[in-house]
């Protein structure tokens, strides 16, 4: 494995290290497909991107600052948070979502809530936005690839939505399903994941007040590349658990099969709690680069257990987090 050493001895990973191998390899073919696919199609996509991003940028979405989640570190720059993204439905390169997610149509939008609930329902975006008061919460988000950001999100606890649909006693887990529309999402041409993107939580994790159903960031509606119009944010877990652009929420009895767990079970566990003591097979989880601070001379930050959100620890009492990673 190639390691580039900076003058202060901090290891700088190469792109091929930050990215799982099968994804790194499929990236070339994705870029070729988008480039060669059709020049006219590409131009249209880019026009749609510019229009949609301009529309979204104009839409303010305020949340009442919740003092329980204050700024613990310096907030990441909006530009970093919106141009360095993982949203594989739009390509595997960090800059792809900002380039291509403009083709995502975020209105009308609804979430179908089904499975083990007494009141299954489909809620449109306006009903979702009215379900509980919007709060602004500043959360760290730590990616398993070894980087992190600090972002002011706008949303409310997922538990408000769970309460409305009244889960039955059989609802042991909850599953989030992302939109998978190849017409809007060019990344679906690549078989890098088993589409649609599915993530899940145990029901008590989903009830934890930290789990945020999220509609905005930095006082504005979510940019498409960050998972518009509605996503989940789970700050004590690696970023891949925080599914974007959700169209379905299912309450189920069995642990859901999640997209990353299907793709590489030895690398991506179901729990995915941030844990500096359990390394990913290819990347240490002991420290992280804060995006925006990553000059040659900046030391990495120490990664904290549960990403610093120790209030979730009781959810995992008695569990072996080395096995259930």
Residues near ligand MTE, by CB under 6 A: 85-89, 141, 143, 178, 197, 226-227, 239-240, 242-245
Which DSSP category does 131 fall into?
S
How many Å apart are CA 249 and CA 160, to the nearest integer? 14
Task: Closer to ligand MTE by CB, 6 or 95: give it.
Answer: 95
> Minimum CB separation from ligand MTE for residue 295, in Å?
21
Nearest distance from C-beta of residue 245 to ligand MTE, angstroms: 6
Nearer to ligand MTE, 167 or 225 (CB): 225
In the complex with ligand MTE, which residue's Cβ is closer, 89 or 136?
89
Q: How far is the CB of 150 from ligand MTE (least distance, A)?
A: 11
Cα(159)–Cα(212) distance, rounded to whole angstroms? 8
Closest CB to ligand MTE among residues 178, 273: 178
Q: Which is nearer to ligand MTE, 128 or 188 (CB)?
A: 188
Q: Minimum CB separation from ligand MTE for residue 220, in Å?
A: 13
User: Could you tell me where the beta strands, DSSP code E, fall in the chain?
Assistant: 4-5, 11-12, 64-65, 110-115, 121-124, 135-142, 147-157, 173-178, 198-202, 212-217, 220-221, 231-233, 246-252, 287-290, 301-302
Nearer to ligand MTE, 164 or 263 (CB): 263
Among residues 322, 294, 290, the alpha carbon closest in space to that of 76 is found at 290
Nearer to ligand MTE, 125 or 193 (CB): 193
Q: CA-CA distance, 93 to 106, in Å (whole number)?
A: 22
Class of residue 314 by CB neighbours under 10 A (exposed 0-12, middle 13-18, buried 19+): exposed
Give the integer Cα–Cα distance in Å for 32 and 91: 11
Q: Are strands 121-124 and 135-142 parallel, antiparallel or unpaired?
A: unpaired
Total Cβ atoms within 10 A of residue 293: 16
Q: How far is the CB of 175 from ligand MTE (least distance, A)?
A: 13
Nearer to ligand MTE, 134 or 141 (CB): 141
Shortest reach from residue 208's CB to ligand MTE, in Å: 18
Nearest residue to 63 (alpha-carbon basis) of 213, 275, 234: 213
Q: Is 245 helix (H, G, I), strand (E, B) or coil?
A: coil
154 vs 61: CA distance, rounded Å: 7
- Nearer CB in complex with ligand MTE: 247/278: 247
- The residue at minimum Cβ distance from ligand MTE is 239
Min dist CB 129 to ligand MTE, Å, is: 19
Measured from the CB of residue 259, what is the shortest distance to ligand MTE in angstroms? 8
Minimum CB distance to ligand MTE, residue 288 (Å): 12
**DSSP line for 197-239:** PEEEEEHHHHHSTT-EEEEEETTEEPPGGGT-S-EEE-TTB-G
- Separation between Cα atoms, residue 269 and residue 17, nearest integer Å: 19
């Amino acid at each position: 494995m190639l390691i580039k050493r900076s003058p202060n001895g901090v290891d700088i990973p190469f792109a091929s290290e930050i990215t799982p191998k099968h994804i790194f390899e499929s990236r070339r073919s994705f870029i070729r497909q988008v480039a060669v696919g059709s020049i006219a199609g590409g131009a249209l996509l880019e026009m749609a991107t510019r229009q949609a991003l301009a529309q979204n940028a104009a839409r303010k979405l305020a949340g009442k600052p919740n003092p329980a989640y204050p700024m613990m570190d310096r907030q990441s720059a909006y530009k970093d948070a919106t141009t360095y993204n993982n949203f594989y439905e739009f390509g595997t390169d960090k800059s792809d979502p900002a380039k291509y997610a403009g083709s995502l149509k975020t209105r009308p939008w609804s979430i179908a809530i089904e499975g083990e609930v007494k009141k299954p329902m489909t809620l449109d975006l306006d009903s979702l936005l009215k379900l509980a008061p919007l709060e602004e919460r500043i959360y760290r988000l730590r990616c398993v690839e070894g980087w992190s950001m600090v972002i002011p999100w706008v949303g409310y606890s997922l538990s408000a939505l769970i309460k409305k649909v009244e889960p039955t006693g059989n609802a042991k887990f909850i599953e989030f399903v992302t939109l998978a529309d190849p017409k809007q999402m060019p990344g679906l041409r690549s078989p890098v994941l088993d589409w649609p993107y599915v993530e899940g939580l145990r029901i008590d994790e989903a009830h934890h007040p930290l789990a945020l159903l999220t509609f905005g960031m930095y006082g504005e509606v979510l940019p498409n590349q960050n998972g518009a119009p509605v996503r989940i944010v789970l700050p004590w877990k690696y970023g891949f658990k925080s599914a974007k652009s959700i169209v379905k929420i299912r309450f189920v009895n069995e642990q859901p099969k999640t997209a990353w767990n299907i793709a590489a079970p030895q690398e991506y566990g179901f729990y995915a709690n941030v844990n500096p003591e359990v390394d990913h097979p290819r990347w240490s989880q002991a420290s992280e680069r804060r995006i925006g601070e990553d000059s040659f001379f900046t030391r990495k930050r120490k990664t904290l257990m549960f990403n610093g959100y120790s209030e979730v620890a009781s959810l995992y009492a008695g569990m072996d987090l080395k096995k259930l990673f």
